[in-house]
Amino acid sequence: MSIDIDKIRNDFPILSQKVRGKDLVYFDNGATSQKPQRVIDAMSDYYQSYNSNVHRGVHYLSQIATDAMETARDNIRKFINAESIEEIIFTKGTTEAINLVANSFSKVFITEGDEVIVSEMEHHANIVPWQMMCKERSAILKVAKINNNGSLDIDYLKSLITDKTKLIAITYISNVMGVINPVAEIIEYAHSKGVKVLIDGAQAVPHTIIDVQALDADFFCFSAHKMYGPTGIGILYGKKELLEQMPPYQFGGEMIDQVSFEETTFNELPFKFEAGTPMIAEIIGLSVAIDYIQETGINEIADYEHELLEYANSQIKNIKGLKIIGTSENKASVISFVVDGIHHYDIGSLLDQFGVAVRTGNHCAQPLMTSMGISGTIRASFAFYNTKEEIDIFVEALNKTLNMLR
Ligand code: C6P
């Protein structure tokens, strides 16, 4: 099976529009991906045909909505090969999933003097919740370094582990550089030392097969909107034995069992962590996005995106003064770069005039920028609906942009 690019582009109506009078070239997929018509239709079908609250009503529509949501939960479980639906918790996104673990896991497992390890390449969402938690519990936040080519210094990471280390929280794929971390090796080593591991999978799910059981991840977090699904919905996967020991994070709604003014008891997993009315349309949309990815084939997607990455690399690497940030071998389809003497924002703004959407700035990874000695980058992140022709348009626009700014 290979990618049928014409069919795929037809499935994403937004891609055929003009922006500033030019054909849109959307290379900001790391920030959020576009949605196939099928996902949009599934969400409007919910609102048009069976909008109702879930787990609450005895009535017909409520039962259909509940069935659709719980069927989606099982589809998500299968997608990441979790053992049971009790391990699939709906959150707003990766950020909320990490905050949930930082808040709840720490109440049971972290005491004064304990250590949590993150890496220099983390998104703020996988730094700040741990930093706040460590301050609150007088625990210590340790930072694993990266090598000059952006890869993780794995020996250094291992050397940070002591008998006080309780958790490593690490990204699978860097949102800035596309660098892929050897998470299976990290998890295996951490477990041999009795340390739990949380994987920030936000950038990994659109590009890689995820098997949480094969990885043996303790926690795995991701967002639907980066994998062709809607915004406002993400998943926390957690091993049942850990989630069972962790207290609820927020209170009210379906997470409740019994309430009196003296005492409250809580519902079972996964509902224990799902306070309030869930994002029903978004959950249904995520499930359809998963079907779409699986029908296209995640290996086919990864191979095609790799071709795009190699092609883009070959086209931009000789541009005068341009430096790619993150040059390690093992990379997803993301290119970040800086250009001598020209601010990233100016380049991004001019590219936009050519209809090319890239992201500029620190990409919510300020500590990584500090360690690289830069203030920001221009980032082009490719999806399987992008083409080599679009890369040509981007490179031509980039050359014109640089000529204007020099
Ligand atoms: N990165 C980017 O342009 P949310 O916002 O909760 O869906 O995802 C947060 C997040 C966490 N970890 C990683 C590795 C991420 O890349 C992101 C989101 C976007 O790079 C927006 S800042």
How many residues are recorded in the chain? 406
CATH number, position 57: 3.40.640.10
Summarize pLDDT for 243-294 with one digit per residue, the tens: 999 999 999 999 999 999 999 999 999 999 999 999 999 999 999 999 999 9
Task: Please give the distance, rounded to the nearest whole angstrom, from the Cα atom of residue 293 to the centre of ligand 1.
Answer: 20
Helix (H, G, I), strand (E, B) or coil at 318: coil
CATH number, position 383: 3.90.1150.10
**pLDDT means over runs of 10, the chain (406 residues):** 92 97 98 98 98 91 97 98 98 98 98 98 98 98 97 98 98 98 98 98 97 98 98 98 98 95 97 97 98 97 97 96 96 98 98 98 98 97 98 98 96
Q: Are 285 and 39 in contact (CB under 8 A)?
A: yes
Residue that is written with structure tokens 């991906």 in the block: 33
Judge if 110 and 257 occupy the same domain.
yes
Query: Does 134 qualify as catalytic in the annotation?
Result: no
Task: Please give the distance, rounded to the nearest whole angstrom, from the Cα atom of residue 50 to the centre of ligand 1.
Answer: 32
Atom 17 of ligand 1, nearest CA residue: 202
Judge if 374 and 273 occupy the same domain.
no
Q: Of 271, 294, 317, which closes a domain?
A: 294
Whole-model pTM: value is 0.98
Q: Which residues contact 310 (CB under 8 A, 6 or more apart)?
A: none
- Find out whether the beta carbon of 43 lies less than 6 Å from any atom of ligand 1: no
Q: 143, 184, 322, 364: which one is catalytic?
A: 364
- Find out whether the beta carbon of 203 lies less than 6 Å from any atom of ligand 1: yes
- Find out whether the beta carbon of 93 lies less than 6 Å from any atom of ligand 1: yes
Domain residues for the domain of 25 are: 5-30+298-405
Summarize pLDDT for 125-179 with one digit per residue, the tens: 999 999 999 999 999 999 999 999 999 999 999 999 999 999 999 999 999 999 9
Q: Please, what is the average pLDDT of the chain?
A: 97
Is residue 35 a part of any domain in this protein?
no
pLDDT above 90 covers a percentage of the chain that reads 98
Task: Please give the distance, rounded to the nearest whole angstrom, from the Cα atom of residue 257 to the centre of ligand 1.
Answer: 34
Summarize pLDDT for 180-189 with one digit per residue, the tens: 999 999 999 9
Per the structure, how many domains does the chain have?
2
Q: Are 200 and 179 in contact (CB under 8 A)?
A: no
Give the pLDDT confidence score for residue 1 in this predicted structure. Answer: 65
